[in-house]
């Protein structure tokens, strides 16, 4: 049983689902954490993910509400379906609910993207990661750093270095979208604009940080295209800074875009400014320099090799970093070979086995 709910999980589940279904029966459960068409269905359609067997329709809420509303029906479903294994992805409340419901029923949990740490417990995602990892029987790590983080916490059994499933998806999708068409539909020229995304609670829910980011994005030499996450749109309006975004031609806020469109925008950009973990990696996959709008990152290797710079929500630091986007000569394969998903499946088979 695979449990997904939020946008990045659809992207991660796509290749794993394909690999799983070659040899197993997969029951796909959508918690309903993300429910807007542009945040959910469009990804299923574009990435060829099978329609979820069950949608719990949980929607938005506080962390406690959202997680609790997932736990109750998940437990019921697990009792009814009795799966051999539950597969959870990343670090959202859907990950935590899946891992918690399954482990309490002694159903083995496999965590895809295990071992990531920001070492900032104020991030809801950090709590979700730490708890999910410690509840998991199979810990599927994208990087050696993730394996090291788990070892430091005494977690060694069931730990497997498989590479990053997001690279599988990125390679699968490349070539399926025409970059030139996408850029011209937005009136953009290759290499002549920057791409921005902001959605982390730490940035969006702080007036000071969100305002500083918006000010930075309106002070750059190149025009910026910004697909705005619904959480961010809500907070821009709440803080009264919405007008500054839409009114400026050099910072273009657009509604959330599909995965293929996002990849095209990314590949054509001179640089990316983001607080998303996934975007930091995707920028690296396609050799696009990245400025991370956070004080730390889980994807430390992108910073170590010089393709990613941490600028926090500091206006001057963001402007300075965006003004000297560097494309280092060295671009090692930090995230594997794009065949992580089949390794995920073999690792699950090895550690969990399946009933005859
Ligand atoms: C969640 C994850 C985050 C992940 C992100 C990807 C948690 C704790 N956070 O954050 O790790 O990077 O997804 O996008 O699980 N909303 C809509 N429509 C939607 C979904 C959300 O309008 O389809 C709005 C609602 O106002 C909601 C807010 O966005 O309250 C936040 O949504 P939520 O699912 O709580 O968290 P994300 O910020 O999306």
CA distances from 143 to 9, 100, 115, 204, 257 (A): 18, 24, 9, 28, 28
In angstroms, rounded to a whole number, what is the distance separating the alpha carbons of residues 5 and 152?
29
Give the distance, in angstroms, between the CA of residue 154 and the centroid of all CA atoms in the same chain: 26
- Could you tell me if the CB of 61 is within 6 A of ligand 1? no
Report the distance separating Cα 351 and Cα 204, nearest Å: 40
- Would you put residue 80 in left (φ > 0), alpha (ψ -120 to 50) or beta? alpha
Q: Which of 31, 34, 35, 95 to mutate to test the pocket of ligand 1 (most atoms within 8 A of CB)?
A: 34
**Considering 111, 199, 229, 351, which one is annotated as catalytic?**
199
Mutational test site, ligand 1, from 5, 6, 259, max ligand atoms within 8 Å of CB: 6
- All residues at 6 or more sequence positions from 121 whose CB lies less than 8 Å from its CB, including other chains: 127
Give distance in angstroms: CA of 127 to centre of ligand 1: 16
199 is catalytic: yes
Per-residue pLDDT of the chain (356 residues; tens, 9 = 90+): 999 999 999 999 999 999 999 999 999 999 999 999 999 999 999 999 999 999 999 999 999 999 999 999 999 999 999 999 999 999 999 999 999 999 999 999 999 999 999 999 999 999 999 999 999 999 999 999 999 999 999 999 999 999 999 999 999 998 788 899 999 999 999 999 999 999 999 999 999 999 999 999 999 999 999 999 999 999 999 998 887 776 566 899 999 999 999 999 999 999 999 999 999 999 999 999 999 999 999 999 999 999 999 999 999 999 999 999 989 999 999 999 999 999 999 999 999 976 54
Nearest CA to ligand 1 atom 30: 60
β-sheet bridge partners, residue 253 = 226
State in Å: Cα 34 to ligand 1 middle.
6
Contact 52, 28 (CB under 8 A): yes
Distance from Cα 78 to the centre of ligand 1, integer Å: 25
Residue closest by Cα to atom 7 of ligand 1: 92
286 within 8 A of 267, measured Cβ to Cβ: yes
Pocket test for ligand 1, best of 33, 39, 66, 91 (most atoms within 8 A of CB): 33
Domains of the chain by start residue, with CATH: 2-164+337-351 (3.40.50.2000), 179-324 (3.40.50.2000)
SS3 call for 121: coil
- For residue 134 and ligand 1, the question of a CB distance below 6 A is answered with no
Report whether residue 30 contacts ligand 1, using a CB cutoff of 6 Å: no
């Amino acid at each position: 049983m695979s449990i997904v709910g939020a946008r990045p999980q659809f992207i991660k589940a796509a290749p794993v689902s394909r690999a799983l279904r070659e040899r197993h029966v997969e029951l796909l459960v959508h918690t309903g954490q993300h429910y807007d068409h542009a945040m959910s269905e469009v990804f299923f359609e574009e990435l060829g993910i099978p329609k979820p067997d069950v949608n719990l329709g949980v929607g938005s809420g506080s962390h406690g509400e959202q997680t609790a509303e997932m736990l109750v029906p998940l437990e019921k479903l697990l009792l009814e379906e009795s799966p051999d294994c539950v597969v959870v992805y990343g670090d959202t409340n859907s990950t935590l609910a899946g891992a918690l419901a399954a482990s309490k029923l002694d159903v083995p949990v496999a965590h895809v993207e295990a071992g990531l740490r920001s070492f900032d417990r104020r991030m809801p995602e950090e709590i979700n990661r730490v708890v999910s990892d410690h509840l998991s029987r199979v810990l599927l790590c994208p990087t050696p750093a993730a394996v090291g983080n788990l070892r430091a916490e005494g977690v060694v059994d069931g730990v497997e270095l498989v590479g990053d499933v997001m690279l599988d998806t990125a390679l699968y999708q490349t070539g399926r979208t025409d970059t030139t068409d996408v850029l011209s539909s937005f009136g953009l020229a290759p290499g002549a604009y920057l791409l921005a995304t902001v959605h982390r609670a730490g940035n969006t829910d702080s007036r000071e940080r969100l305002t500083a980011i918006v000010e930075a994005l309106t002070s750059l030499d190149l025009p910026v295209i910004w697909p705005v996450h619904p959480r961010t749109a809500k907070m821009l309006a709440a803080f009264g800074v919405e007008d500054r975004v839409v009114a400026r031609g050099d910072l273009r806020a657009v509604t959330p875009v599909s995965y293929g469109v996002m990849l095209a925008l990314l590949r054509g950009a001179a640089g990316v400014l983001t607080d998303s973990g996934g975007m930091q990696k995707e920028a690296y996959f396609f050799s696009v320099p990245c400025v991370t709008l956070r004080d730390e990152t889980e994807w430390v290797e992108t910073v170590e090799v010089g393709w990613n710079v941490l600028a926090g929500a500091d206006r001057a630091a963001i402007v300075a970093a965006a003004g000297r986007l560097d494309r280092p000569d060295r671009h090692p394969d930090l995230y594997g070979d794009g065949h992580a998903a089949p390794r995920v499946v073999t690792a699950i088979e090895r550690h969990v086995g399946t009933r005859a």
